[in-house]
Amino acid sequence: MRTSCCTNETETDRAAAAPKSPQPAIAKKLGGDSIFRYLTTFFAFSILAILALMLYEMAGESLPAIREFGWKFVSSKDWDAVQGSFGALPYLYGSVVSSVLALLLATPLSIGAALFITEIAPGRLGSVVAPLVELLAAIPSVIYGLWGVLVMAPWLQSTVQPFLIEHFGFIPLFEGAPYGVSMLAAIFILMIMVVPIITSITREVLLAVPQSQKEAAIALGATRWETIKIAILPYGKSGILGAAILGLGRAIGETMAVTMVIGNAPNISLSLLSPAYTMPSVIANEFAETTSKLHASALMEIGLILMVVTLIVNAMARLLIWSVSGRAKGGAA
């Protein structure tokens, strides 16, 4: 009797308390939530703020060089710190040529590797190879540079370059003497460094290709290669392009490894065997010993150009990749 009475009491208690107690609880929760929301919003925007601040600072610092040289800064190849005349064309040229050619070599390699991992590799082999490829991206670039300058460059000098000069020397691309450190060495080292990035993103793009697309091709009597050709690659086309452009962004900005193997000579030469120079390399090499305000400002302007270019390149790549994963989601719905 008593027990049942007790239970009754508790129930009525609860019922009576019910309309009151939830309200403060909800309000409390909202308080925590909104604080959390403001905090995360603040963090998110602080990143944008830092980016904007950097652009602003760099633009301000490079103003003297911009005022002094105008467009001549990017069209002149005369870089003389003593005379105070600064033209960044050799660095622009070196950066563009080394990264674009590295990309041209790395993209087919990466697509092949990604296709192997997603489509060809039997069973678990793909899931073993994929993380190994991504591990390559985690190796510090100075290690790549060290290997490049101690192992690859001597090998290029003793084997590859003499071979190229002997057999293809009539092409301007392979003219000159074998120095080892050269544009070619930079292209190779960049190629090795961007393959993991392009491969892992291409792999994600290929994994987003719906099974129904592969089945469509297979049911038409397509072989494995034909399935890749008519169903998988066309579906992932823009995403793969995005992956390649992201690799380009990485290659353009790469500093350490390139500085160690490219030879750091501000030449504009058609020959891939001659030493060259890139935008990040010249900043890294000269910033500590600037001779004048103008010199520092010129380096800053190179930095500004580099930053704007990589931002644009990355934004383009992201847009292309999103267009693919967006379509994959739309197709599934």
Partner 1 sequence: MNNKVQLEQVNIHFGKTHAVRDISMTFPEHSVTAIIGPSGCGKSTLLRSINRMHDLVPSARVTGKILVDDGDIYDRGVDPVAIRRRVGMVFQKPNPFPAMSIYDNVIAGYKLNGRLPREEADEIVESCLKRVALWDEVKDRLKSNAMMLSGGQQQRLCIARTIAVKPEVILMDEPASALDPISTLKIEELIEELKERYTIIIVTHNMQQAARVSDYTAFLYMGDLVECGETKKIFTTPEQKQTEDYITGRFG
In angstroms, what is the minimal distance from the CB of 321 to partner 1?
16
Would you say 199 or 227 has its CB closer to partner 1?
A: 227
Q: 113 near 133, Cβ under 8 Å?
A: yes
Give the β-pairing of 79-80 and 85-86. Answer: antiparallel
Of positions 235, 263, 271, 273, contacts partner 1 by CB under 8 A: 235
d(CA 321, CA 239): 4
d(CA 127, CA 149): 33
Give bridge partners of residue 263 from the DSSP assignment.
276
Return the number of the residue (144 or 235) whose C-beta is nearest partner 1: 235
**Does position 329 bind partner 1 by CB under 8 A?**
no
Quick one: which of 1, 18, 27, 219 contacts partner 1 (CB under 8 A)? 219
CB of 222 to partner 1, least distance (A): 6
Task: Work out which of 212, 291, 292, 323 binds partner 1, going by CB under 8 A.
Answer: 212
- Contact positions with partner 1 (CB under 8 A) in 181-210: 210
Q: Give the C-alpha separation, 89 to 242, whole Å.
A: 27
Which residues make Cβ contacts (< 8 Å) with residue 73, sequence separation at least 6?
A: 65, 66, 86, 87, 88, 298, 301
Neighbouring C-beta atoms of residue 315, cutoff 10 Å: 12
x/- binding map, residues 110-129, to partner 1, per CB under 8 A? ------------xx------
d(CA 185, CA 144): 11
Question: Is residue 152 near partner 1 by the rule CB under 8 A?
Answer: no
Q: Toward partner 1, which CB reaches closer, 66 or 222?
A: 222
For residues 99 and 248, the answer to whether their CB atoms sit within 8 Å is yes
- Please give the residue ranges that form the binding site for partner 1 (CB under 8 A): 122-123, 210, 212-223, 226, 230-231, 234-235, 237, 327, 331
